[in-house]
Chain A
Amino acid sequence: AQTVTQSQPEMSVQEAETVTLSCTYDTSESDYYLFWYKQPPSRQMILVIRQEAYKQQNATENRFSVNFQKAAKSFSLKISDSQLGDAAMYFCGVGNQGGKLIFGQGTELSVKP
């Protein structure tokens, strides 16, 4: 069974500052992928970043980067130079070989101007 835990229900960051969202997971799969999705009030889940578990190099997408610690089963998301448009719910997810995605409970990020 796979589980995903996001221990921060809410986070707040000042515009232009950096914030890190935490995620831990558990899986018995040897080959899996990790995802961060953003869900704004419009409800549509949007992919932020994806990490292959077999790659040691941390993924980066513009202002978004991850800190992937495989042994610790930790997958945190760092948002640099935060913008007002980054305000949303963020969900961490683990994908197995069957394509099934398990999500955490989410972290609500607010950005203060």
Chain B
Amino acid sequence: EAGVAQSPRYKIIEKRQSVAFWCNPISGHATLYWYQQILGQGPKLLIQFQNNGVVDDSQLPKDRFSAERLKGVDSTLKIQPAKLEDSAVYLCASSLEYVAENIQYFGAGTRLSVL
């Protein structure tokens, strides 16, 4: 079974530029999550999708971050414009449904460096 795929693995940009990350979840997983992991911290949920609808985006800085999950499969997370404090690893995860017992499967993440 293929895992969660993310690209790119690394991205370096200058502040005020824009960047986009892509995620392809495990086939059949209805729920998709984007996390931000700042160096030395645990992952923090940014947004949660159920199929192509948003379940929770309360921690997403909506003035600069946006995310979409067209057709309920792949998802894209965008930052525009980027700030220095956005330097982090962005992790995508998926699960069958958004219930407590469901295991979340993670991708390898994208490491973003904002200079």
Q: List 15 A-B contacts (CB under 8 A).
A: A33-B100, A35-B103, A43-B89, A43-B109, A43-B111, A45-B93, A93-B42, A95-B100, A95-B101, A96-B100, A98-B98, A101-B33, A101-B104, A103-B42, A105-B41
Bound-state Cα–Cα, A59 to B41, Å: 26
CA distance A102 to B35 in the complex (A): 11
Chain B residues whose C-beta falls within 8 Å of the C-beta of A47 in the assembled complex? 103-105
Q: Are A104 and B101 in contact (CB under 8 A)?
A: no
C-beta contact mask, B29-72 vs A, less than 8 Å → 1, else 0? Answer: 00101000000111111001000000110000000000000000
Q: Which of A92-113 contact B (CB under 8 A)?
A: 93, 95-106
B residues neighboring A (CB under 8 Å): 3, 31, 33, 40-45, 48, 55-56, 89, 91, 93, 95, 97-109, 111
Chain B residues, Cβ within 8 Å of A95? 100-101
Q: Is the CB of B99 within 8 A of A99?
A: yes
What would 16 more interface pairs be, CB under 8 Å, given A95-B101, A102-B45? A44-B3, A44-B109, A50-B101, A91-B43, A95-B100, A98-B48, A99-B31, A99-B97, A99-B98, A99-B100, A100-B98, A103-B42, A104-B42, A105-B40, A105-B42, A106-B42
* The 5 A-B residue pairs with the shortest CB-CB distance in the complex, in nearest-first order: A99-B98, A103-B42, A45-B106, A43-B109, A44-B108
Query: Which of the residues B55, B103, B105, B107 comes within 8 Å of A50, measured between beta carbons?
Result: B103
Task: List which A55-110 residues lie within 8 A (CB) of chain B.
Answer: 91, 93, 95-106
- Residues in A with CB closer than 8 Å to B33 are 101
